[in-house]
Every structure is written in structure tokens, then in C-alpha cells.
């Protein structure tokens, strides 16, 4: 008798799980997309529906933000944050094109160097936060300032160039699928795998959920957090590689101009990762990134003024974060 009821509820739970496992944010994505299409049909030329390349462009535009947002998801699950990603992107973008100098033979070396630089930045961020006990907001704001200062002190313009072969990363496709989208998919899947199928991922959720309990249960919390920061900085490097392949060269302003710091945080929050850590995942973040991509595309279709778009961007970021934070019981810092 009792076993029957148990299995019954078990089956029921399984059936519910299929829907419960889709992050809520995907419903929001559908709503935003439909609204965008309607607006486009009524007020613009309706190209979103009739021109399939626009959908592909939404995806490509989401690649740079999407990759770094995956990294941001890692640190935010660990109840930390990385506000230095925009400047990490700038630094590694400039370094990439500077080292490559348009020579295909130097591509592997450039990629290796910037990955090491990225890992080093993540390591420093993690060490400052865990060993010096500095709040993550302040620590990464500080390292961001340091990177930015050193970078714009040394470079004031486009520097170096990437070879034509490297630009295929940004522009070419394998069959119908652009390489950049394959890159984004790999990063998202790798992020999902690490978070939900490895010990490190489980530990990260533990550290983010309750630092004290995680430490008392014998986790090396510092190492886990430092690991998350290294991963985050490496995703920033991958974003930079994609951005350089699109632009052909790196400049000190490519990161801050894309607002990658704030937007990666905002998309992660929209995707359902709690600001206080311990909850969330990369698929939710991906939906958040796509929402931003759709909104951007709709604005372009409607011909919204560049500066007005900045205003709307700021408002959307604040409102998006507010729609999640307003329900939290904790007061904001």
C-alpha cells in the first residue's frame, strides 16, 4: 500500500520534472520574442519573420555576451561576482591582435598567451577575494580599474591585426551553422557539464549556498572560488577572441563599449541565478542572453536612436535585476 503511493508520487514527480526542468526564463524569452515580432510587423518592415538571416544575427550577436555570461554564472553561483570581465576582454583582445600581427603562424601562440593571461587575472581576482578577504564587488572593480589604467596608458588605438584565416571564426560557417554558434554551444555545454556532472560543480553550489556550512563540511572553499574566477576570466578571453575575429583588431575600448560587465551580470540574474549564490545554471543564462539579443534586434528594426538605446539598456538592466531582487528577503548592499 505504502509502496504503491510512494511509486505513484515518484512517477508524478518524474512527469512534472520535464516541465520543471525548463528554466522559467524560457517562457519569458518566448513572450519577448513574440512581442518583438508583433512590434516589428506593426511599426517596421516585418523583416524579423521574413528574413531568416536576422534570427542568425541575433545568435551571432549573442555569442560574445553569451560566452562571458557563462563564466559570470559560475562566479555568481559561488556567491561572488566579476566586474573586471569587460577590461579582461579589452586587454586580451588587444594582446591577441598585437601578437598575431596578421601572421597565421602566430595564431596558436597568441591564443595560448591570452589564455594564460586570462587564467592569471582570474587567479589574482580569486586570491584577493579569498585570501585578502575583500568583497568581490570591490575587488573586481579594483582589478578592472588596474587593467584599464595599464591598458589605456599603453595603447590608445587599434593595435595589430589578426590574419584572414583567424577571421573565419567570426564569419564562416560549417554547413548552415556559423562557427561562432558552435563555439557558444560548446562553451554552454561545457559549463553545464562542469556544473552538474562534476565534483567541482557540486562544491561550487555548496560554497555559494552557505559558505560557512561548506567549510565546516570540509570543502576547500577558497580553492573552489578561485577555480570559479579562473573559469570566468577564461570565458572572457574566449569572448575576446571571438570579438577580435569579428573586428579584425583589438582596441582598449572594445570591452567597456559592449558593457560586458553589467550585461553579463544582468543576463545571469534574469536567467535565474540568485545574486546571493547557490542557485542557477548556464541554460537559464543562455535564455537571458537571447532575450537581450532579441531586444537589441527589435530596437534596430524599429530604428531606435543610438543614445536612446543606451537609456533603454540601462533601464532594462535595472528593471531586470529588480524583478528578481525585489522578492529577496535580504536587504541590498
Measured distance CA(140)–CA(99) in Å, rounded: 26
Spatial separation of the C-alpha atoms in residues 99 and 95, rounded to whole Å? 6
| CA separation for the pair 323, 131 (Å, rounded) | 34
Q: Do 295 and 61 contact (CB within 8 A), yes or no?
A: no
CA distance 194 to 274: 19
Q: Least separation, in Å, of the C-beta of 226 and another protein?
A: 16
Stretch that binds another protein, among 60-68, 114-122, 173-181, 306-314 (CB under 8 A): 306-314
Q: Which is nearer to another protein, 136 or 297 (CB)?
A: 136
Contact with another protein (CB under 8 A): which of 83, 110, 214, 251? 83
If one asks whether residue 95 binds another protein (CB under 8 A), the answer comes out as no
Burial, 18: exposed, middle or buried (Cβ in 10 Å; 0-12, 13-18, 19+)? Answer: exposed
Q: Is residue 177 classed as helix, strand or coil in its secondary structure?
A: strand
300 binds another protein (CB under 8 A): no
Give the range of 180-188, 197-205, 228-236, 260-268 binding another protein by CB under 8 A: 260-268
Binding positions for another protein, 143-162, rule CB under 8 A: 143-153
Helix 282-302 with 25-43: angle, nearest 10 deg: 10
Residue 302 in the binding site for another protein (CB under 8 A): no
Interacting span for another protein (CB under 8 A) from 11-19, 71-79, 135-143, 206-214:
135-143
Q: Does residue 104 touch another protein according to CB under 8 A?
A: no
Instruction: Kindly tell me which residue out of 64, 161, 262, 291 binds another protein, with binding defined by CB under 8 A.
Output: 262
Half-sphere exposure of 194 (CA within 13 A, CB side): 19
Binding flag, residue 265, another protein (CB under 8 A): yes
CB of 307 to another protein, least distance (A): 4
Q: What is the CB neighbour count within 10 angstroms for residue 210?
A: 14
The set of residues, in sequence order, having a beta carbon less than 8 Å from that of 55 and lying 6+ positions away, is 48
Instruction: Work out how close the CB of 229 gets to another protein at its nearest, in angstroms, rounded to a whole number.
Output: 14
Q: Does 313 bind another protein (CB under 8 A)?
A: yes
CB nearer to another protein: give 60 or 232.
232
Smallest gap from residue 38 Cβ to another protein (A) = 25
Task: Choose among 178, 185, 210: nearest CA to 274.
Answer: 210
> Considering the rule CB under 8 A, would residue 314 count as an interface residue with another protein?
yes
Quick count: other Cβ atoms within 10 Å of Cβ 114? 27
Residue with cell 562571458: 68
- By the rule CB under 8 A, 42 interacts with another protein: no
Q: Give the residues lining the site for another protein (CB under 8 A).
A: 83, 128, 132-135, 137-139, 141-153, 259, 261-262, 265-266, 275, 305, 307-315, 317-318, 321-322, 325-326, 328, 330-333
Amino acid at each position: 500500500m505504502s509502496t504503491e503511493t510512494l511509486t505513484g508520487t515518484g512517477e508524478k514527480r518524474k512527469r512534472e520534472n520535464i516541465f520543471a526542468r525548463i528554466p522559467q526564463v524560457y517562457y519569458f524569452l518566448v513572450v519577448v520574442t513574440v512581442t518583438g515580432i508583433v512590434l516589428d510587423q506593426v511599426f517596421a518592415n516585418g523583416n524579423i519573420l521574413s528574413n531568416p538571416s536576422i534570427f542568425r544575427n541575433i545568435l551571432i550577436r549573442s555569442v560574445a555576451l553569451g560566452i562571458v555570461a557563462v563564466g559570470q554564472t559560475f562566479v555568481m553561483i559561488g556567491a561572488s561576482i566579476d566586474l573586471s570581465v569587460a577590461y579582461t576582454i579589452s586587454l586580451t583582445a588587444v594582446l591577441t591582435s598585437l601578437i598575431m600581427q596578421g601572421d597565421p603562424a602566430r595564431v596558436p601562440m597568441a591564443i595560448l598567451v591570452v589564455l594564460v593571461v586570462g587564467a592569471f587575472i582570474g587567479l589574482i581576482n580569486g586570491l584577493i577575494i579569498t585570501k585578502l578577504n575583500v568583497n568581490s564587488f570591490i575587488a573586481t572593480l579594483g582589478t578592472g580599474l588596474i587593467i584599464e589604467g595599464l591598458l589605456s596608458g599603453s595603447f590608445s588605438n587599434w593595435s595589430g591585426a589578426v590574419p584572414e584565416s583567424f577571421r573565419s571564426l567570426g564569419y564562416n560557417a560549417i554547413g548552415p551553422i556559423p562557427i561562432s554558434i558552435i563555439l557558444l554551444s560548446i562553451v554552454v555545454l561545457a559549463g553545464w557539464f562542469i556544473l552538474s556532472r562534476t565534483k567541482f560543480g557540486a562544491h561550487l553550489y555548496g560554497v555559494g549556498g552557505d559558505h560557512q556550512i561548506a567549510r565546516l563540511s570540509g570543502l576547500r572553499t577558497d580553492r573552489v572560488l578561485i577555480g570559479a574566477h579562473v573559469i570566468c576570466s577564461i570565458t572572457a578571453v574566449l569572448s575576446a577572441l571571438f570579438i577580435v575575429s569579428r573586428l579584425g583588431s583589438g582596441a582598449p575600448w572594445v570591452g567597456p563599449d559592449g558593457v560586458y560587465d553589467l550585461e553579463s551580470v544582468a543576463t545571469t540574474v534574469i536567467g535565474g541565478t540568485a545574486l546571493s549564490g547557490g542557485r542557477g545554471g548556464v541554460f537559464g543564462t543562455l535564455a537571458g542572453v537571447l532575450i537581450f539579443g532579441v531586444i537589441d534586434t527589435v530596437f534596430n528594426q524599429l530604428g531606435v536612436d543610438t543614445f536612446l538605446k543606451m537609456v533603454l539598456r540601462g533601464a532594462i538592466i535595472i528593471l531586470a535585476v529588480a524583478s528578481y531582487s525585489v522578492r529577496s528577503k535580504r536587504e541590498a548592499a
